[in-house]
Structures are given as C-alpha cells and as structure tokens.
C-alpha cells in the first residue's frame, strides 16, 4: 500500500513537472519568436504608416460629417418637434459651454453647468426620451474624455522629472561614498556593506528601481496566492457545489471585494505579522506578508472571472467525457480547465492588475526601506512599492519630488492599462475558441 502510494505521488509530481516545464518552454519560445519577428513587424508597420496616414486624412472629412450627423441624431433627432429641438440645442450649447469653461476660465464653469442641469430637468418632464438619449451620450463621451484628461495630466506632470533626472529615475543603488553598486544583485554571495540608499530627494537620489522591484516581488507572491486558491474556488462553485451552496458561496466571495483595503492591511499587519515572526523567525513586516494579503484581496476577482469562464464551457463537452467513463475530477482536469484556460488566465491577470495597483494595504504593512532586498529574492525583507512610495511621500514632498512621484504614477498607469488590454484580448480569444470562430 505504501509503495503504491509513493509511486502514485511520484507519477503525479513527474506529470506536474513535465507540464510546468512544457508551459515554461512554450512561453519562452513564444516570447523569443515574437522578439525575432518584432523588427520585421515594426518595419512593415513603418512602411505602411504613410499610406495609413494618407487614408486617414482623406477619410477625415467623411468621419467628421458622420460624427456631426450622429450628434444631431442624439440631440435633436431626425424629425424633431419645436420643443424637442429647443431642448436638444440648449443641452448642446450648455455642454459645449461646460467644456470650454472647464478648459479655460474655470471660475465660470458653474454657469453653463447650472444651465445644463435646468435644461435637463425641464426636458425630462416634457421630452423624456430625448433627454435620456442626451444623458447617455454625455455620460459616455464624458467617461472617454475623463480618461483622456487623466492620461494627459499624468504624462504632462511626469515630464519635468524625466527632463530633470532622465535615466537617474532608474539608477542603480549607491554606496555611502557615492559609488555605484553595479553588482548589487549578487548580495547573496558577496559581502554587504550596508548604508546604501536609492531614495533621498534632498541629495538628488530619486531612483524608482527598488520600488519597481518591490512591486514585482509583491505581485509574484500575490499571484502565487491568488491563482491556485482562486482556481480551486472557481472549480468548487462551477463544478462541485450544489445550487443552494453556490447561491451562498459566490455572493460571500464577492463581498470580500467590498472590504476596504486598509482593513486588509491592518489585519495582515496584526495577524500575519505575528505569525511570520513566530513561524519563520522574521523580525518584522515583509514582502511575504504584503503579497499574501494582496493575493487574498485579489481572490474575489480571480474566483468570479474564473467561475464565469468555467460556466461558459458547453455542457456537451463534460457530458461526453462522463459518458466515456471519465470521473468528475478527470472531466474537470482534462476538459473544463483546458477549455476555459484563456478565461482563467484573464482572471489571474486581472487579479495581478489589482495587486500591482494596491496602495493602502501594502502601505499599512510595510512602508520602510529605500533600497533593494538583500538578496533580491529575499521575500522576508521589506521595501517600498511604487504605490506605497506615492502614498507615503507625497504629503511632505517638494515640487521636484512630486514630479518624480508622477513618473511612478505613469508607470503604474501603463502597466495596469496593458494588463487590462491583455486580459480583454485573452477573454475574446476564449469566446472565439468556444464558439468555433477563428
């Protein structure tokens, strides 16, 4: 009995190792293939760029005309009554006035805003359908413009720091005598002198590289916590739990997303901090605690999106496997998870996006440190992530330091935006795969 169990465990470990190695090799091969073909693709894009610009300029008048026709259809309709036309034109004029005063004389923005609100209030009682269309259009366009203004403001505010410091924003750590430590990543095998810093704005040292590395460490740990637990929870809800249990468990998991992040951080600092100190003989807060807490915070996202992906797998696939004699676990392992793998990957990526952008929980657990972990992979060391760097420094920061913090904000913005786009691409790919489309 014991030998049989050992052989079974060894076979399972061997299959898991082979699958992991195949996944790693496949991922690396895909990345290398993309890098090899990147120059060719960039060249093709540059060659086609003049034609695209020309086609865009030629089609610009027609596009503008279609926009104007669409705006007319929203604000006044195709065959408006005099009252409907008056409401639509008044709404359009006041909205344009709000936009102009917001970008120009801000102190006057209240007047067109009040005019728009009065127009909408009166129009709601007289021409409700038209006002509803106007409000939905204004809300949609306003959302897009808000994202555009935020993006512009972030990059504009960060540019002075890029001009002033340049590559110093990603500078290597320095020793107390000012010498650059080129081999800081070998601290595990080389003697460590101590006393170095990568963040001292008063001395002109404003490197964000340690914060970037701390963000990477916390994100990796959070992914290792959220991915397996989230997948297990999604499998239980989608494949194992009865309908009555599912109605209780799924809302309970989603409620976790509503708990304030500062509460997670406080509980992590009070509970996990003491446990880690006792169990691992660690002296204080660490990347491990921060990553574990952020991973738990990302669980609702991973569970919810993964459960939706698993539920979207056609029943005919699992029914066919069961009809051929497969067990429930074999069906989940060999049918459900592979078919929903793209959606599960998107769930993990979205969860990691939350982990990267989390601020208060990480700041509540650890906010000290101006250098790298020693060695770099020491998860029981502590440091400052990009988000906690912003949260803990902006209150007493000078104008020059504020610009550097905006650079950190731009980094987070770009990373999270890229992760969101990647997750949406993976979800669409899964939909095409399940519907048989190419």
What is the number of alpha carbons within 13 Å of residue 259 lying toward its C-beta?
A: 19
**Rounded-to-5 percentages of helix, strand, coil across the chain:** 80, 0, 20
- Which residues lie below 8 Å from residue 281, measured CB to CB, with a gap of 6+? none
Identify the helix (H) or strand (E) that includes residue 307.
helix 287-311
Give me the residues paired with residue 205 across strands: 200
Give me the residues paired with residue 200 across strands: 205
**pLDDT score of 195:** 46
Two tokens, residue 173: 């750590």
Round to whole Å and give the CA distance between 334 and 235. 13
Give the Cα-Cα-Cα angle 88, 147, 218 (nearest 5 degrees). 155
Name the phi and psi angles at 206, rounded to 5.
-130, 40
Name the phi and psi angles at 77, rounded to 5.
85, 180
Contact status, residue 351 vs residue 343, Cβ threshold 8 Å:
no
Contact status, residue 409 vs residue 154, Cβ threshold 8 Å:
yes
8-state DSSP, 333: I
Strands (E), 76-234: 199-200, 205-206
Helix axes 128-165, 2-75, angle to 10 degrees: 120
**pLDDT score of 189:** 43
Give me the residues paired with residue 174 across strands: 180, 197
The per-residue pLDDT for range 122-180, each reduced to its tens digit, is 888 888 888 888 888 888 888 888 888 888 888 888 888 888 777 667 665 555 555 55
**pLDDT score of 369:** 63
**pLDDT score of 192:** 44
Identify the helix (H) or strand (E) that includes residue 46.
helix 2-75
Round to whole Å and give the CA distance between 109 and 113. 6
Report residue 41 CA to chain centroid gap: 27
- The number of helix segments (H) and strand segments (E) in the chain equals 16, 2
Contact status, residue 354 vs residue 326, Cβ threshold 8 Å:
no
- Give the end-to-end CA distance of the chain in Å, rounded to a whole number: 49
Identify the helix (H) or strand (E) that includes residue 385.
none
The secondary structure of 160-199 as a DSSP string is: HHHHHHGGGGGPPPB-TTS-B-TTGGGTTTS------BSE
What is the number of alpha carbons within 13 Å of residue 363 lying toward its C-beta?
A: 14
Walk along the chain (438 residues) and give the pLDDT tens digit of each residue. Answer: 556 656 665 676 666 566 666 655 665 676 677 667 778 877 888 888 888 888 888 888 888 888 878 777 878 777 778 888 888 888 888 888 888 888 887 788 888 888 989 988 888 888 888 888 888 888 888 888 888 888 888 888 888 888 877 766 766 555 555 555 554 555 544 444 444 556 666 766 777 778 888 888 888 888 888 888 888 888 888 888 888 888 888 888 888 877 777 787 777 777 777 777 666 655 667 788 888 888 888 888 888 888 888 887 777 777 777 777 777 777 777 778 777 777 788 788 888 877 777 767 777 777 666 666 667 777 777 778 888 888 777 777 677 778 888 888 888 888 888 877 777 777 677 667 656 555
Round to whole Å and give the CA distance between 369 and 207. 13
Two tokens, residue 361: 């929980």
Domains of the chain as residue ranges with CATH: 184-435 (1.10.3720.10)
């Amino acid at each position: 009995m014991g030998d049989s169990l050992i052989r079974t465990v060894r076979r399972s470990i061997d299959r898991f190792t082979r699958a992991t190695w195949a996944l790693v090799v496949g991922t690396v091969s895909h990345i290398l293939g993309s890098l090899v073909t990147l120059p060719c693709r960039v060249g093709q894009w540059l060659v086609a760029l003049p034609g695209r610009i020309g086609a865009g300029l030629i089609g610009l008048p027609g596009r503008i005309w279609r926009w104007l026709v669409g705006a007319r259809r929203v604000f006044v309709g195709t065959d408006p009554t005099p009252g409907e036309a008056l409401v639509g034109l008044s709404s359009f004029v006041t909205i344009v006035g709000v936009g102009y005063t917001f970008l120009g004389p801000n102190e006057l923005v209240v007047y067109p805003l009040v005019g728009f609100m009065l127009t909408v209030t009166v129009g709601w009682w007289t021409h409700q359908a038209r006002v509803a269309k106007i409000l939905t259009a204004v809300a949609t366009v306003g959302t897009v413009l808000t994202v555009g203004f935020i993006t512009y403001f972030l990059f504009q505010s960060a540019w002075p720091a890029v001009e002033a410091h340049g590559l110093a924003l990603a500078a290597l750590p320095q020793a107390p005598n000012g010498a650059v430590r080129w081999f800081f990543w070998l601290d595990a095998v080389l003697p460590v002198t101590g006393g170095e810093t990568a963040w001292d704005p008063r001395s002109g040292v404003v490197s964000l590289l340690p914060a970037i590395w701390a963000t990477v460490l916390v994100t990796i740990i959070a992914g290792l916590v959220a991915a397996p637990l989230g997948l297990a929870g999604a499998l239980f809800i989608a494949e194992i739990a009865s309908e009555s249990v599912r109605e209780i468990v799924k809302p309970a998991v989603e409620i976790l997303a509503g708990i304030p992040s500062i509460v997670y951080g406080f509980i992590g600092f009070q509970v996990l901090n003491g446990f880690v100190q006792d169990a691992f003989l660690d002296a204080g807060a660490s990347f491990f605690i921060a990553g574990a807490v952020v991973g738990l915070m990302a669980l609702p996202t991973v569970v919810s999106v993964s459960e939706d992906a698993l539920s979207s797998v056609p029943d005919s696939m699992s029914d066919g496997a069961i009809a051929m004699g497969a067990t429930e676990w074999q069906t989940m392992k060999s049918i459900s998870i592979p078919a929903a793998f793209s959606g599960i990957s998107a769930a993990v990526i979205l969860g990691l996006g939350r982990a990267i952008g989390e601020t208060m929980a990480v700041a509540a657990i650890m906010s000290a440190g101006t250098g790298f972990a020693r060695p770099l992979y020491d998860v029981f060391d502590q440091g400052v992530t990009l988000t906690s760097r912003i949260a803990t420094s902006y209150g007493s920061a000078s104008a020059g330091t504020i610009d550097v913090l905006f650079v950190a904000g731009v980094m987070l913005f770009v990373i999270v935006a890229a992760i969101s786009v990647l997750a949406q691409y993976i979800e669409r790919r899964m939909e095409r795969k399940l519907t048989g489309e190419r």
